[in-house]
Amino acid sequence: MNLTDLGGCQCGACRYAVNTTPFIAYTCHCRACQKLTASACLACVQVPIEDVSLREGKPSSHVRMADSGNQLQTFFCQSCGSTLYAENSARPRVRTLHIGSLDHPHKVEVQAHIWTSRKLHWVVLPSEHRVYPEAGDWTQDYASDPTRYHS
Ligand SMILES: [Zn+2]
Ligand SMILES: [Zn+2]
């Protein structure tokens, strides 16, 4: 899957461009993502960090400590509050784009779903997708270019 698109926040102050071959696209149903989105889940796509370039704006960020001890930093527009992407201290060369911030979110083919043990019951997942009750295992997805995964 190749992904070439522009993205940005709801008000348009923050804009970015992405041109890449993503590692993995998935939805996360954990409580933190439900709170972050004020919705049922977060849909995201992991890409090499150097394949995303900020074009306009200066996103603010919020850091939270995950149960794993990793720091999760979420970037958002300081004008409208829309989230754009996140970074994980355990994966310094990966940026996790929030799919809804892309101009053409249908370009991303979601293949997996994580933390489905917290999933709201009315969210029905395609049976052919990979499903993880808790954290996802992306070992096979990083295998194509492990140097990008490790710092
Ligand atoms: Zn904005
Ligand atoms: Zn989550």
CA–centroid distance, residue 31 to ligand 2 (Å): 7
pLDDT of residue 121: 97
User: Tens digits of per-residue pLDDT, 39-76?
Assistant: 999 999 999 999 999 999 999 999 999 878 899 999 99
- Compute the distance between CA of residue 130 and CA of residue 136 in angstroms, rounded to an integer: 9
CA–centroid distance, residue 134 to ligand 2 (Å): 9
Residue 142: Cβ within 10 Å count? 17
Whose CA is closest to 99, among 111, 112, 84?
A: 84
- Compute the distance between CA of residue 142 and CA of residue 115 in angstroms, rounded to an integer: 20
Per-domain boundaries in the chain:
22-140
Mean local confidence (pLDDT), 78-96: 95
pLDDT of residue 144: 72
- Compute the distance between CA of residue 125 and CA of residue 86 in angstroms, rounded to an integer: 24
Higher pLDDT, 140 or 55: 55
Mean local confidence (pLDDT), 97-111: 97
- For residues 6-43, one letter each, b for 16 or more C-beta atoms within 10 angstroms of the residue's C-beta and e for the rest, the string is ebbbeeebbbbebebebbbbbbbbbebbbebeeeebbb
CA–centroid distance, residue 48 to ligand 1 (Å): 24
- Compute the distance between CA of residue 76 and CA of residue 92 in angstroms, rounded to an integer: 18
CA–centroid distance, residue 8 to ligand 1 (Å): 8
Neighbours of ion ligand 1 (CB under 5 A): 9, 11, 13, 77, 79-80
Please tell me the number of the ligand nearest to residue 35's CA: 2
C-alpha distances out from residue 146 to 49, 89, 114, 149, Å? 14, 16, 22, 5
In the CATH scheme, what is the code of domain 22-140? 3.90.1590.10
pLDDT of residue 151: 44
- Quote the pTM value: 0.93
Structure tokens at 84: 């754009």
User: Tens digits of per-residue pLDDT, 11-29?
Assistant: 999 999 999 999 999 999 9
H or E segment to which residue 32 belongs: helix 31-37
